[in-house]
Amino acid sequence: MENKGKLRAPVSQKPLVIEKPVDPSYIGGTISIEINEKKVTVPLGTTILDACKMNGITVPTLCHHEDLCVAGVCRVCVVEVEGMRTLQASCAYPITSPIKIKTSTPSVRKARRHIIDLMLSEHYGECYSCLRNGKCELQYLAKEYGVDNFTFGHVEAPRYELDESSYSVIRDMSKCVLCKRCVRTCIDLQEVGVLESVERGHNTRISTFLDKPLLDVICINCGQCINRCPTAALRANDPSDEIWAAIDDPAKHVVIQTAPSPRAAICEEFAMEAGHSLTKELNTALRRIGFDKVFDTNTTADLTIFEEGTELVLRLYKAIVQKEPVALPQFTSCSPGWVKFLEHYYPEQIDNLSTAKSPQQMFGALIKTFYAEKAGVKPEDIVSVAVMPCSAKKYECNRPEMNDSGYKDVDYGLTTRELARMIKEAGINLPEMPKSDFDSPFGEASGAGLIFGATGGVMEAAIRSIYEFITGNKTEDAFANANVTPVRGFEGIKYVELPLGEKFGPVPDVIKHLVPNWDWLKGVTLKVAVAHGTANAKKIMDDIKAGGKFSECHFIEFMACPGGCLGGGGQPIPTTPEIRKKRAQAIYSEDESLQVRKAHDNPNVVKLYEEFFTDGPCGHKSHKLLHTHYVKRGRYIA
């Protein structure tokens, strides 16, 4: 990640990030050092921690996180450096001279144990009643480094009140060990800046602006802080008890839609290595838990391509042919974290957001209308659950405008982690489940919908369809195997130009009533961009404000989370660049294994337009159910 290797001690609202030379080629050369009396050579500027890792020596860490800038505050990683009076935090010490390091001396071991003891003395709660039992980094440290009692006591009552105001993130500061990963995530990684240390000394705690509840500050609900919290001080707002109750209620018809990213990551919750999709095993498990129907969110991802793609065409038509003022570039609106980020930080640009709902909310509206009718179930009896890699989806489904079906379109957003717990509670070992398909009437979706889970996926899915719609050629003609690789990968911002050429195909039937032909696109080069993580989004937005190259884009995909949905705030913990890469591989290889890989080839979606949205994409009915509006929130909240 961008912040990796940046060295800055404390965190603050306006961080001055001091570069340290991580790239050895930057200053060049290597340096010989000694670790535990063994001579090794490392690139100049490597931290002691990385040097140890490279040489197979484990140094415990807590505040350190691969995605984040250096803090050096927990002090668990201290080591001895010969000639230095004090122990050095190995995560924060860049090697620039031929030092001699010792990682396990009596004073180092004692210091580590003391530090863990001290953290435990203030860490409220019991391991066995904790959500993170078995997945807690503090618990792990205590176990690995010889802590067998509370040497310095143990706090007996919670020090702080629980903040349960947010639909997405619950803050239990009594469990906080002040590693400040959340602060660094919020300020440096995401550049949202909702969390910061307040007060000092023993009263130091992580808080929000004026100590307001999380719901009332400009939190975008991305949940990246949860993914990086070493303890259970931050967790998602878990609706699984309500969902169990609905499942147990015979009068309720409980349906679940599953997004592409959870299925690519849930294996990690079942002691498997990252990078294995368990799509069809998950379908079976969900039925065994008691869900009445299991649907694929990719269906409405395909639908999103129709709606958002048509909207783009209409905007371009308006701008190029009708010469009317229209907000361009069009921004994607699938990521509720990004949407809220824009509403807070760039409210003047909400017109650029596609009015198309996210796949989750489209599905919600469809389930309580189209599906209810088709299945003969009363919409008020349906409980609609969405399994998402995302904590912001919990907030999204609770937005007051999300009731176009006449009911709350999606009742509960459930994270990957929460679903994994439900599966375990039901006594199911997910990886051993037999495979089964999604339920009709939506069935299986396209690979285009699937890749929504990775950064660049929405753009790739859009290109696979728009390119064919406009040019009449196959995507495969332009991109081998229909893999639009220029928009793939974890680069923070991707920019692609796509010349549309001179020859066009016929306008497809489904949008024929909207544009007569494609001739007006002659000579146009489609300019698109992709950003993931709101810090990168900010760069693009500021460039647009300044009239830079991104202001000339036509279409930009934004995802709030690093890596896109697969790195979402509801995904299994831990998260690292390596893990996110593996999840992406799982998604892309599943895409390649599918027969249908383009949204417009999804027969179920085509049928939806024939049977239900008969006036086509962006038509009257689709506008009522599949499109939404946004709120200019601004940054200053009363």
Partner 1 sequence: MEKKNREGSVIFSPYIKGESIIKAVSLKREDILFELRESKLKGRGGAGFPTATKWTLVAAASAEEKYVVCNADEGEPGTFKDRVLLLEYPELVFDGMVIAGYVIGAKLGIVYLRGEYEYMLKSLEDYLETMRKENLLGKNICGKVDFNFDIKIRLGSGAYVCGEETALIESLEGNRGEARNRPPYPVNTGFMGKPTTVNNVETFASVAHIVIKGGSWYCKHGTDKSTGSKLFSVSGDCDKPGVYELPWGTKISELLKLVEAKDTKAVQVGGASGICIPKSQFERIFGYEDAATGGSIMIFNESRNMLHVLKNFMEFFVEESCGQCTPCRIGNVKLLEGVEMLERHEYTFGYINKLKELGKTMQLSSKCGLGQSSPNAFLSILENFKEEIFNNGGNNGK
Near partner 1 by CB under 8 A: residue from 87, 243, 350, 498: 87
> Where in 134-193 is the site for partner 1 (CB under 8 A)?
151-152, 177-178
Bridge partners (DSSP) listed for residue 254:
383
What values do phi and psi take at 482, rounded to 5? 60, 20
In DSSP notation, 376-390 reads T--GGGEEEEEEES-
User: Hey, which residues between 91 and 110 contact partner 1 (CB under 8 A)?
Assistant: 92-94, 96, 107, 110
- Min separation Cβ 173 and partner 1, Å: 13
Q: 282 in helix, strand or coil? A: helix
Backbone torsions φ then ψ of 542, nearest 5 degrees: -70, -35
Contact between 12 and partner 1 (CB under 8 A)? yes
Minimum CB–partner distance for residue 148 and partner 1 (Å): 14
| Closer to partner 1 by Cβ: residue 177 or 390 | 177
CA gap 619, 272 in Å, rounded: 45
Alpha helix stretches (DSSP H) within 28-78 = 48-54
Smallest gap from residue 138 Cβ to partner 1 (A): 11
Active-site position among 269, 396, 468, 557: 396
Structure-token match 């830079």, residue found:
548
Cα–Cα distance, 186 to 341 (Å, whole number): 12
Q: Which of 119, 366, 367, 537 binds partner 1 (CB under 8 A)?
A: 119
269 among known catalytic residues: no
The reply on whether position 114 binds partner 1 by CB under 8 A is yes
Tell me which of 2, 34, 66, 196 binds partner 1, using CB under 8 A: 196
Alpha-carbon span 227 to 325, nearest angstrom: 42
User: Measured in whole angstroms, how far is the alpha carbon of residue 285 from the centre of its chain?
Assistant: 24
What is the C-alpha to C-alpha distance for residues 164 and 520, in angstroms, rounded to an integer? 53
Among 1, 7, 356, 433, binds partner 1 (CB under 8 A): 7
Q: Which is nearer to partner 1, 13 or 595 (CB)?
A: 13
The active-site residue, picked from 80, 281, 308, 590, is 308
565 is catalytic: yes
Has 242 been annotated as catalytic? no
When the beta carbons of 94 and 347 are compared against partner 1, the nearer one is: 94
Active site residue 444: no
Residue linked to tokens 């064919």? 468
Of 129, 202, 210, 434, the residue at the interface with partner 1 (CB under 8 A) is 202
Q: How far apart are CA 521 and CA 538, in angstroms?
A: 30
- CA–CA dist 6, 3 (Å, integer): 6
- Which of 166, 277, 354, 465 is an active site residue? 354
**Least distance from C-beta 114 to partner 1, angstroms?**
4
**Which span sits near partner 1 by CB under 8 A: 22-30, 89-97, 385-393, 538-546?**
89-97
74 is catalytic: no
For residue 462, count other CB atoms closer than 10 A to its CB.
24
Choose the binding region for partner 1 from 112-120, 233-241, 575-583, 628-636 (rule: CB under 8 A): 112-120
110 is a catalytic site residue? no
* Catalytic site includes residue 401: yes
78 is an interface residue for partner 1 by CB under 8 A: yes
Binding of residue 10 to partner 1 (CB under 8 A):
yes
Cβ atoms of 377 and 277 within 8 Å: the answer is no
Judged by beta carbon, residue 26 or residue 152, the one nearer partner 1 is: 152
- SS3 label, residue 17: coil
479 with 281: CB under 8 angstroms? no
CB of 393 to partner 1, least distance (A): 33
Q: Tell me the per-residue interface mask from 53 to 72 with partner 1, x by CB under 8 A, - otherwise.
A: -----------------x-x
Is 61 buried (19+), middle (13-18) or exposed (0-12) by CB count in 10 A? Answer: buried
Instruction: Please state the closest distance from residue 481 (CB atom) to partner 1, in A.
Output: 47
Among 219, 334, 390, 397, the one annotated catalytic:
334
**Polymer length in residues for the chain:** 638
| Closest distance to partner 1 from the beta carbon of 137 (Å) | 14
CB contact at 8 A, 384 and 411: yes
- How many residues in the shown chain lie near partner 1 by CB under 8 A? 46
Separation CA 527–CA 495 (nearest Å): 8
Least distance to partner 1 from the beta carbon of 577, Å? 22
Q: Is 130 a catalytic residue?
A: no
CA distance 555 to 470: 15
- Of 175, 393, 582, 598, the catalytic one is 393
To the nearest whole angstrom, how small is the minimum distance from the Cβ of residue 174 to partner 1? 14
Whole-Å CA distances, 620 to 67, 517, 615, 617: 45, 22, 7, 9
Query: With the CA atoms of 132, 135, 141 and 144 taken in that order, what torsion angle do they form, in degrees rounded to the nearest 10?
Result: 130
The residues that touch partner 1, with contacts defined as CB under 8 A, are 7-14, 16, 18, 20, 70, 72-76, 78, 86-87, 89, 92-94, 96, 107, 110-111, 114-115, 118-119, 121-122, 151-152, 177-178, 196-197, 199-204
Give the residue numbers annotated as catalytic, written as ranges.
308, 311, 334, 354, 393, 396, 401, 565
